[in-house]
Homo-oligomer: A and B are copies of this chain.
């Protein structure tokens, strides 16, 4: 801190991850769908990057994609096997190892987003070196990240922010990017977390960046672009979360968004992981985001609200969506449900 540029001289600013596709999704021995969220996310949002799935005999969860061995997948054009399951503790169980080695031997790269790094596991590292394939730890930030400059970049940007963590900022950004692209608008999803990176095939895991370079990483994530190009940036954390607000602020400042969409889950009233903290009202998140975001983009504005209505009845969805939109005078919709309300949200996101 205190030095304008705190990296050793001579290091080049790095490019975000660039993952080889298509992927073979590895499901391990998963028996609970909740642990396979990554695989489902890839199936739903990056179908063109997924060639099939591979699981141990003990697995009972499936993505519905065709089942291929690593060798069959490689012959069908796969370039990597991606670990699409989380397990408790974030480590690689011994039972997975033969399958991971088999994938490497078939010429596939491995991709993972766990706390345990693939490259820290000697047998995998040695197998990959021997076979000439690569291990991609998407949580690991690229080397040589720059300190942020605050320089305004060309092109347009939209950032999803939230009233809390883990309530739909990634899927909202994906749905907006997909919806606008379908309308012929030049929009790119920019991933700031590990699942998003796997879906997009590129990005930076903001939560793993050293604090001094967090805003710099965010600047790198949405580079200069054509004037009418729109980057739709996946948000992280919440400005009201006692653990993660710093990450959210660095991402806000580095993203310098022209537009934000606030994501909220009706009915959630306590902050995830910090139950002594109330989830703030959407109004407070709008106000604080605009106030803080003005530092790097004085034109920042909130263009809509994304509601995570998972588990609500259709009547309740309609009611809460209408009420929220009327109260805030902004388009509100659950992007996962689509429909006319989401089309109005997309109208607003065109900028």
User: Contact residues of A with B, CB < 8 Å?
Assistant: 1-9, 88-91, 115-116, 147-151, 165-166, 193, 206-212, 214-216, 236-237, 240, 242-251, 253-254, 272-274, 276-277, 288, 291-292, 295-296
Instruction: Give bound CA distance, A223 to B99, whole Å.
Output: 46
When the two chains form their complex, are residues B236 and A1 in contact, meaning their CB atoms are under 8 A apart? yes
With A9-B89, A215-B243, A247-B250 known, 14 other A-B pairs at CB within 8 A are: A1-B165, A2-B193, A3-B273, A8-B116, A148-B242, A149-B242, A149-B273, A208-B210, A209-B211, A212-B247, A215-B242, A242-B253, A245-B295, A246-B248
Given A242-B148, A245-B295, A296-B242, does the pair A1, B207 have CB atoms closer than 8 Å?
Answer: yes
Query: Which B residues touch A90, using CB under 8 A?
Result: 8
| A7, A245, A249: residue with the most chain B Cβ atoms closer than 10 Å | A245
Docked complex Cα distance between A206 and B213 (Å): 12
Quick check: B249 and A207 within 8 Å, CB to CB? no
* A250/B246 in contact, CB under 8 A: yes
List chain B residues, Cβ under 8 A from A244.
1, 212, 215
- Asked if B147 and A1 sit within 8 Å, CB to CB, the answer is no
A245-B237 in contact (CB<8A): no
Question: How distant is A40 from chain B, measured CB to nearest CB, in Å?
Answer: 16
Assess A214 versus B1: contact at CB under 8 Å? Given A274-B150, A277-B295: no
The complex places the Cα of A205 from the Cα of B280 at a distance, in Å, of 31
Write the nearest CB–CB distance from A191 to chain B, whole angstroms.
12
Show 19 A/B contacts (Cβ-Cβ < 8 Å), sorted by A: A1-B166, A1-B237, A1-B247, A2-B166, A6-B207, A8-B90, A147-B273, A149-B242, A150-B243, A207-B211, A208-B212, A211-B250, A212-B244, A215-B244, A215-B246, A216-B243, A242-B253, A246-B251, A247-B250
Interface centre among A91, A253, A277 (most CB of B within 10 A): A253
Report whether A246 and B243 are in contact in the complex, using a CB–CB cutoff of 8 Å. Answer: no
| Measured CA separation A94–B305 after assembly (Å) | 58
CB neighbours of A8 from chain B (8 A): 89-91, 115-116
Q: Which residues of B contact A89 (CB under 8 A)?
A: 8-9
A296 CB to closest chain B CB (Å) equals: 5
> Do the beta carbons of A206 and B250 come within 8 Å of each other?
no
